Structure 1
Amino acid sequence: MTFTITALPEKQCAPQPDAGLGALRTEQGNLPLESVDVTAAVAGTAAEMAVTQCFRNPHDVPLEATYVFPLPSRAAVTAFTMEADGHVVEGVLKERAQARADYDQALAEGRRAAIAEEDRPDVFTMRVGNIVPGERVTVRLALSGPLPYEDGAATFRFPLVVAPRYVPGAPLSGPSTGAGTAPDTDAVPDASRITPPVLLPGFPDPVRLALAVRFDPAAVAPYDVASSLHVVREEESGDGVVVRLEPGERLDRDFILRLRFPASNSLTLVPDEPGRTDAESGEGDGTFLLTVVPPEGERRTPKDVVLLLDRSGSMGGWKMVAARRAAARIVDTLTSDDRFAVFSFDHVVERPDGLSAGLVPASDRNRFRAVEHLAGLSARGGTELLRPLSEAIALLTEDGGGGLGRDRVLVLVTDGQVANEDEILARIGPALADVRMHTVGIDRAVNAAFLGRLAGLGSGRCELVESEDRLDAAMEHIHRRVGAPLVTGLRMSADGLDLVDGSVEPFGSLFSGVPLTVSGRFRGAAAGSLTLSGTGPDGEPWERRVEGAAGGGGAVRAMWARGRVRALEDRYAIGAQGWPTPYDEGERALEEKIVATSLRYGVLSRFTAFVAVDSRVVGEGGPGHRVVQPVELPSGWEPPVPPAPSPGAPIMLAAASYGGADAFGAPPPAPAAGGFAQAVPPPAAGPRMVGRARMSAPAPAPAGNTLAEVRPQLVQELERLAGVDRLSPRELRGYLADLGSRLSALASHLGGHPDLSALARDLEAAEEPGSDPGDLLARVRDLLRALTGEPGPGAAERPSFWKRR
C-alpha cells in the first residue's frame, strides 16, 4: 500500500521544532479565534460577567467562523454586540428559527452578521459570517449568574472548554445540523453541534486568554481567595481587589476561585427598571432573592443508598483514582442501620461479587467487599449512563426499596461527559421525585450543567471535584449530603409582600452548611418580609423570618428569569419519551411559554437566539470559506489515538476527533484512551485538509470474504456523506474521487462486487470533465443505504435540532 501526500512549500508553512504532530505556522496565522477575554464583577454570591471573543480572517476570501464554547450553566446571557471596522451592532433576541433566517439572509446579501445560540445549558455556538480578508470582528456577551455557597465559601467557576462527550444511538439520515466531528443520532439529534474538533497536543499559537475577577467593596468582601487550577495574582485598585489570570494560559480547563466569607439571612427586593415593568401582564413589578442559613444540628435516619461509579474511558488517569477514592469514602460513611448497593458501569453494568442481589445491609463484611471491588476498577468503554441510572432508581423505588421511614439516596460519581442529556432526563426525570440524588462531578472541564440538573430534580447536591487535592474537602460535603437534611417540609409565607403566583419554583430541604436561596416575582412596593418554616433536626417546628431590603441592579431579575427558563426547559425535556411528530399541544404550549419568558426578560434560551446584523454590504454571495474553531483537549485527558487510516481517507493535520458509539449504538469494540471510539471528522468540519492520500491498486481478495465484514466501513462512509453539502463543487469532486478509491478497495476485498466496482470506477473519474457530482452523490447514497440497510430520506423525520434532543 502506497500513500502520497502533497508537500507544502516550507516558506509557506514552516514546521515547528517543538510542536506536536501536524503543527504548522503560517504568516497569516492558524485559526480564526484570536482571543477570549472574560471579566467578572462579584458582589456577595452574584456575579456579572462579560465575555469578549475576537475573530480574524487570515484567508483571501470572506470567512464564516464557528466556535463552540461553554458558559456557566446557571448564568443568564442578557446582551450581545458585534463590532467590526469601528461599527458596533447591538444584537437582538429573537425566536431561534427567525434569528437563524435573519443571519442566513444577511450572509447571502453580503452583510456581516453574528448569531449566538444555546445548544445545552452550558454549551453555546457562536457564528460570525462575512468577515472580510484581514479583518477582525469582536463579539461580546453579557451575563449574570449566582455563585454557589457552601461551608463558608462561595465558588466562582467559569468553564473554558467543551470536553468531548460520548454520543450514543444510531446515526440519522439527512444533512447534519452542525459541523462537528460526531454524526447526529436518534439519541442525540444535534451531536454534530456539540462535538467540535480537538486540537492535537502541541499546536502552536493557542488562543490568547485574559480573565479578571473584581470584588465589589460595597458588598461582603472575601477574606480568603484561592484558585485551584490556575496561577493568579491579586491587585489592589480604587474600586476593589482584582484577581487576574497570568498570561499564557490555554483554554483547556475550568477557571475556579473559592472565596471565603460569612453568610447570613437576607431578602433583597429589586424593583424593575423604569419602562420594564410587567405589571400589566400579571408578571409583577420586581424580583426578590431570599437567602436562609441552615440551623446547627444533625438528623439521623436509616438510609437505602445506591452508588453509581462511572468507569468509562473518559475517566482515565487521575479522575479514575479520585472516583474510586470518592466512592469508597461514601461506602465508609454507611452504618449498620443502612442498606446499599454499588454499580460500576461503562457500556455494561457490574456489581461486586456477593453483593448482586438487591440492597444489602451495610455490614463491615459487605462494605469491605464493595471497597475491594471499587479498588480494582480501571477506565474502559463508553459512557452508557441511562441503563445504570434506571436500574438504580428501580432498586430504590420498587419491591420494597426505601422502606417505611428510610431515606432513598442515589449517588452518581462521573465526569458527566455524555451528549444525550435530554434523553436521560426524559426517561428518569419523573422518578427522581421519589429519590434524593447527589452527583459528584470529577474533571477539570466537567459537564456541570447536566450534573446540576440531575441533582436539582432529585433535590440533592452537586459537588464538583477538579483535582485530587480538592477531593477530601468535597467528600466531607458529600458525607453530610448523604445524611438526612436538617429541615424538611419547607414552605414560605409572605407578610406585606404580594408574591406572583407560580413565579417561585419548588425548593427542596435545608442541608448542613448550605444556605437555601429562593427567588420569585412580586407586585407593588419593594417592602415586606418572608417566612420560611418546616420541621427541624429535632423533629420540632422550625421557622425563620427575614425582613426585606430594597436593592438595585438587574442581576437578580436576570438570574430569576434564567432559573425560570431552565426549569421550563427541564420540564420540556422530561415531558415525553422520544421525539414524536407532530408535537402535541402540551409541548407546543410549553415551547411558547419558554419563548415568551425568554423574550420578555431578555435571557437566552434553547428556543431563542441573539442575532446581530450589520447594515453595510461588505461582499457578494456570502462567505467563500467556513472554519470550525478546534478546541483544546481538556487538561488531564489522554490525547486521542488516531485510527488506522482508511484507504484514501483524508489526513487531518490540525485537529483530531472523539466520536461515540458505533453506527448501531453498540459500545466501541476496543475503546481508546479517553473512552471514545475514534472517528474521522466529516469533510471540512475542522481545519483545512492538506493534500489527499491516494492508494495504489489493491491486491486480489482472499476467497470467502462477505459483505458483513466491510459493512462497518460502508456505514462510516455513509455517515461522512452528511457533511459533504458544505463542500464547494471543486472540493466535492475531489472528495468523490477519493471515495471511489476507498470503495474500489472494498470491492476488491469482496472479490469484485459488481455494483460497488462500477460505482467506484465512476467516482474515481469525478474530477474529469463531464462528470456530474450531484448524480454521483445520489448514487453513492442509494447504494450505501442498500448495502448497509440504512433508512433512506423520509424514513424518520428529524425535529428541529433545538427541540426534543
Structure 2
Amino acid sequence: MERCSCGLITREKQAVPLQSVDVQVDVKDHVATVVSTLLYKNKEEKPIEAVFVFPMPSEAAVCHFNAKVGETLIVAEVKEKKQAREEYDDALSSGQQAFLLEESDQSPDIFSMSVGSLRSGESASIRLEYVTELDVQADEALRFCLPAVLNPRYQPAGTESSVKVTSVPSSLVPYDLTFSARVESSRPVSKVESSCTMDPVQYLNQDQTKASVKLAAGHKFDRDVELLIYYKDSHQPSAVVEAGQASAKPGSLMGDTALMLSLYPEFPKDIMSSISSFGEFVFLLDRSGSMAGSRIASARDTLLLLLKSLPMGCYFNIYSFGSSFEQIFQESVEYNQKTMEEALEKVKTMDANLGGTEILRPLERIYSQSCIPNQPRQLFVFTDGEVGNTKQVINLVKSNADSHRCFSFGIGEGASSALINGLAKEGRGHAQFITGNDKMQPKVIQSLRFAMQPAVGDISVKWDLPKGVSASVLSPPLTSIFQGQRSLLYAQLTGQSEEEAEGCVTVKYSLAGRPTENKLNFSLKPAEDTGLIVHRLAARSLIRSLEREQEGTRGQKDDAVNKKIIDLSVQSGVSSSLTAFIAVNKTSGEAIQGPLLRRDVPTPGYSSMSVDHCPIRNIDLNRSYGGGSGSSGGGGGGGLGRCGRAFVVPAPRFHQTFAAPPPSFHQTAPSDDANSALRAEMGPAQQDNAEWQSRDPLLKLVSLQKASGCWELEAALAKALNTTSKDLEKKQPSMAKREVWATILALVWLHGLKADAKDEWELLAMKAATWLRSQNAAGLAECVEAANALLGCRVHKGVLGL
C-alpha cells in the first residue's frame, strides 16, 4: 500500500502539508505573549495552497505574522481585509508566494491562515505572535489556554456561514506540537498546573519569581493546553505604565504612554453582611448531542447543587435547549420545597438528546418574560459553545443587558471563547471555562456567589494626575463589579511628567444605595522591556469596543467607525474583523501553469465524534456537505474559506455523530441487598432522593437537604453519613429536635469530612446555619459534640456559623 510520508492522506491520497507546530509562551504577571511557529512542506509534485482554520482566544491581540522561505524573510502588513484578499489573489495569479492571516467574519475566536503557491519540495516557516490577558479563576489561579481543539460550529437553519472547519479525531492529527512556557512575576510563583501532562516545573532563580514548564513528549491533541499559574498574593491591585513607540506620532495611541490597571474592588463588610439574597435565577442548559456523556451528567449534578443553594424567597426556572427548547415552568416560580422537588424530578431525566445548538430561541423566550419586581434577574448559561451565529446571540444579550446579569460557562474543549466571554461581558456577568479534569460545581457556585452580590450601579472613574497629564480610557465603560474579582482598565496618557510622579485612579459606584469607592495609587515611571504589550492590548480593547458598537446597529454600519477600526488596526499592527495580515514574496515570480491544488489542514475535533470510515471530514459551519474541489486563484467570495474546498467527505448530521447518551439517574440505583433493605425502610419520596445518590458521597447528602436549609432524621440520611438509623436515634441529645439534630449532623460531616469541597457546599451550608439560628434551639453545643463523636470529626461549633 502506498504510504504518505507525513502520516496522513485523504481519500484522494493528498498529503497534509503542515508538519509541526511549536508554541512558546512568555507570561509576565497576568499577561502572556504567545509565539507559534508553523512548519509547512509541500511533498507533492505540484504547487499547492495550504489553508488552516484554527481557534484563537477571543480577546487575543494578534500583532505579528511573517514567513520564511529558504533564506527569504517576508514580514506581513496589516491592511483592510478586502484589499489584503485582493493582493493575495493577485499574487497567486502572478506566480508569487503569498501568505494571508484573517479573522473569521462570524466569530473572533476563529482564524484562517492561507499559505499560497508553495512549490514542490519547498518548505515555509510561519511565525504568528499574539498577546492576551490571563483570566482569574475561583481559586485565584491565572488561566492560560492554548486552544487546540476546534469543533464544528452548529449553524441554525436559515443562516449562512462561509467558514469551513476540517477536523479529524485527535489520534489522527498529522503534525506534532511542542509547547513551552516561561513565567515571570514580581511575586513568587507558587505552582503551575496543567490539564495536560507537563514536565516538572523548573525554577530559574532562588526567589522563585521565574519558572519554566514544557509539554511532555507524546502529547495527544485531545484537549486544549491549559496552564493554571499561582502567584503568592496575586489578588492585589496593580498598574503597568508603558512608554510609547519612539517612531510613532506623538498624540497617537502608539506614540503616547499606555496604562493597564488591574483593580480588585473590596466591598464594605457591613453592606455585604446585610444584603438579602433575593433574585430571579434562570438556568439555561445545553442538551445538544455534543453535551453527551460526562458533560450532561456533571451538568445535572451542578443543577442539584445550584437548586439546593438558592435562598428562600427567590424565584427560579430551568430551560434546556438543542434544536428545540424546553422549560420546566411556564414562568419563573417562587422557590420552596414543592417547586424545588418538581424541578429536580425533571432534571434527573435530562439527557443530551435535543439535537443541535439553537441557543437563540430560548434566549428570546426568556427575555420575553416580564421581570419580577424587586427580584433581579440572573441568567446562567451552560453550553459547549459550538454555534455559528455567535454575534447574533451576543447582540441579543446586549440588547437586554439592562434587565439582567448573564453568567456563562464554556464546557469542554473547543467551546467558543468568543461566545462565552461575549455573553458575560455584554450581560454584565462573569465567564467560566470547564475543561480537562475541571469540576464544574465549584466554578458555578462561585458565579452564584457573584450573582447573589448586589448589582453595582452608577460606576464612574476619576483620575488624579500631575499637571499637564491627562488620561483617555480605551476600555469599554465598566458595567459590572464583583467583590474580589479583577476588573481591567486601559488608558492612554497624554502629556509629560517627571519619572517619579504618581497618579491616582478612583472607581466610584453605588452599592445597595450607598456611595462607595476604591482607590489605586501608582507610579508614572514606565516599566522596562515590556515590548509594547500594553499598547497592543489597549488597541485590541478599543477595537473590540468599536466592533461591538457596530454589531449593535442592526446592519446600519457607520462608515466613520469602520474607518476608525481600520486605522487603529493598521497603526497598532493588531488584527481586527475588518483587517488582515498579508505577506507577499515578490522574488518568486515564475508563473504557475493551471490552478493551485488546495490542501485544508485539519484541526483536532471533539474526541467522542464518530468519523465513519474516513480519516478526514471537511465540515461546513452551515452543515452543507456537498461541493467539489476548487482553485485558489481568482476573486472568490468573501469570508474565510472562500476558495473551493478539498477533502469533501460526506458526514452524518451533527447531532447524530456522537455516542449514545449515558443512562439516566433512574437507571443507576444500587441493587445490592443492603440498599434493598434501605429502600424497604424508605417512603416513596425518600426513594426518589436515593436516585440522586449515584456516585459522589457529597451529592448523596446534598440531595436530602430541604429547600429551607434543614435535613430530616431519616434512613437516607443515615446511609449518606455511612451509619445506621439506630445510631442516629441513639446518639441524639435528649433536648434536641429531630430536624435540628439531623442538620447539625450534616453540617459536621461537611466541615469535618468534605472540607476540600467547601467551594461546592458552602452556600447551602450557610443556608442550613441560617435555618438553625431561626429555630432558637437549645443544646446546639451538645449536638455538635455528639455529632463529632458519632462521625469521628473535630468540628468546633463556631465553624458552623452558629
Please report the TM-score for the alignment, with normalisation by the length of structure 1. Answer: 0.72
Indicate the residue corresponding to 2:350 in structure 1. 377
Q: Is 1:148 the equivalent of 2:96?
A: no
CA contact (8 A) 2:150 2:167 kept: no
Letter in 2 for 1:506: P
CA contact (8 A) 1:300 1:484 kept: no
Q: Is 1:315 the equivalent of 2:291?
A: yes
Q: Kindly report which structure 2 residues correspond to 1:699-710, keeping only aligned pairs within 5 A, or say none.
A: none
Q: C-alpha offsets along residues 586-618 of structure 1, whole Å, 9 cap, x if unaligned?
A: 532222221122112211001000111112125
Q: Kindly report which structure 2 residues correspond to 1:429-578, keeping only aligned pairs within 5 A, or say none.
A: 429-467=398-436, 469-485=438-454, 488-496=457-465, 498-501=469-472, 503-525=474-496, 527-536=502-511, 539=514, 541-550=516-525, 551-552=527-528, 553=530, 554-576=532-554
Q: Is 1:417 the equivalent of 2:386?
A: yes
Q: What do you get for the CA RMSD once the two structures are aligned?
A: 3.1
Indicate the residue corresponding to 1:344 in structure 2. 320
Indicate the residue corresponding to 1:366 in structure 2. 339
CA contact (8 A) 2:299 2:440 kept: no
Alpha-carbon distance, 1:685 to partner: 7.7
Alpha-carbon distance, 1:555 to partner: 0.7
SS state at 1:331 partner: helix
Determine the C-alpha separation between the residues in 2 that align with 1:14 and 1:101. Answer: 34
Letter in 1 for 2:109: D
Identity of aligned residues (%): 25
Indicate the residue corresponding to 2:361 in structure 1. 387
CA contact (8 A) 2:284 2:321 kept: yes
Q: Is 1:206 the equivalent of 2:179?
A: no
Determine the C-alpha separation between the residues in 1 that align with 2:645 and 2:237. Answer: 59
Determine the C-alpha separation between the residues in 1 that align with 2:398 and 2:346. Answer: 29
CA contact (8 A) 1:33 1:629 kept: yes
Aligned pair in 2 of structure 1 residues 661, 370: CA closer, same or farther (>3 Å)?
Answer: farther
Q: Is 1:248 the equivalent of 2:227?
A: no
Indicate the residue corresponding to 2:705 in structure 1. none
Determine the C-alpha separation between the residues in 2 that align with 1:240 and 1:525. Answer: 33
Indicate the residue corresponding to 1:773 in structure 2. none
Alpha-carbon distance, 1:14 to partner: 11
Given the alignment, which residue of 225, 232, 237 partners 1:265? Answer: 237
Alpha-carbon distance, 1:271 to partner: 2.2
Aligned pair in 2 of structure 1 residues 655, 282: CA closer, same or farther (>3 Å)?
Answer: closer
CA contact (8 A) 2:20 2:176 kept: yes
Determine the C-alpha separation between the residues in 2 that align with 1:330 and 1:630. Answer: 39
Given the alignment, which residue of 95, 109, 117 partners 1:130? Answer: 117
Aligned pair in 2 of structure 1 residues 322, 230: CA closer, same or farther (>3 Å)?
Answer: farther
Determine the C-alpha separation between the residues in 1 that align with 2:283 and 2:31. Answer: 33
Alpha-carbon distance, 1:286 to partner: 1.6
Indicate the residue corresponding to 1:763 in structure 2. none
Determine the C-alpha separation between the residues in 1 that align with 2:217 and 2:553. Answer: 46
Q: Kindly report which structure 2 residues correspond to 1:33-112, keeping only aligned pairs within 5 A, or say none.
A: 33-112=18-97
Alpha-carbon distance, 1:658 to partner: 4.6
Indicate the residue corresponding to 2:162 in structure 1. 192
SS state at 1:429 partner: helix
Q: C-alpha offsets along residues 420-476 of structure 1, whole Å, 9 cap, x if unaligned?
A: 112223444211232111101111221112110111001100011114543233123
Q: Kindly report which structure 2 residues correspond to 1:783-794, keeping only aligned pairs within 5 A, or say none.
A: none
Aligned pair in 2 of structure 1 residues 681, 235: CA closer, same or farther (>3 Å)?
Answer: farther
Q: Kindly report which structure 2 residues correspond to 1:165-184, keeping only aligned pairs within 5 A, or say none.
A: 165-170=153-158
SS state at 1:439 partner: strand
Letter in 2 for 1:167: Q
Determine the C-alpha separation between the residues in 2 that align with 1:287 and 1:161. Answer: 34
Aligned pair in 2 of structure 1 residues 15, 630: CA closer, same or farther (>3 Å)?
Answer: closer
Determine the C-alpha separation between the residues in 2 that align with 1:121 and 1:87. Answer: 31
Determine the C-alpha separation between the residues in 2 that align with 1:293 and 1:447. Answer: 27
Letter in 2 for 1:234: V
Given the alignment, which residue of 547, 561, 564 partners 1:593? Answer: 564
CA contact (8 A) 1:336 1:362 kept: yes
Please report the TM-score for the alignment, with normalisation by the length of structure 2. Answer: 0.72
SS state at 1:605 partner: coil
Letter in 2 for 1:496: L
Letter in 1 for 2:350: L
Letter in 2 for 1:393: Y
Alpha-carbon distance, 1:302 to partner: 1.3
Aligned pair in 2 of structure 1 residues 431, 512: CA closer, same or farther (>3 Å)?
Answer: same
Alpha-carbon distance, 1:253 to partner: 2.0
SS state at 2:400 partner: helix
Aligned pair in 2 of structure 1 residues 91, 346: CA closer, same or farther (>3 Å)?
Answer: same
Indicate the residue corresponding to 1:767 in structure 2. none
Aligned pair in 2 of structure 1 residues 282, 246: CA closer, same or farther (>3 Å)?
Answer: closer
Determine the C-alpha separation between the residues in 2 that align with 1:390 and 1:321. Answer: 26
Aligned pair in 2 of structure 1 residues 412, 87: CA closer, same or farther (>3 Å)?
Answer: same
Letter in 2 for 1:145: T
SS state at 1:206 partner: coil
Aligned pair in 2 of structure 1 residues 47, 200: CA closer, same or farther (>3 Å)?
Answer: closer
Determine the C-alpha separation between the residues in 2 that align with 1:145 and 1:325. Answer: 33
Alpha-carbon distance, 1:55 to partner: 1.1
Indicate the residue corresponding to 1:223 in structure 2. 190
CA contact (8 A) 1:90 1:612 kept: yes
Determine the C-alpha separation between the residues in 2 that align with 1:470 and 1:448. Answer: 18
Alpha-carbon distance, 1:558 to partner: 0.7
Alpha-carbon distance, 1:39 to partner: 0.7
SS state at 1:54 partner: strand
Alpha-carbon distance, 1:723 to partner: 10
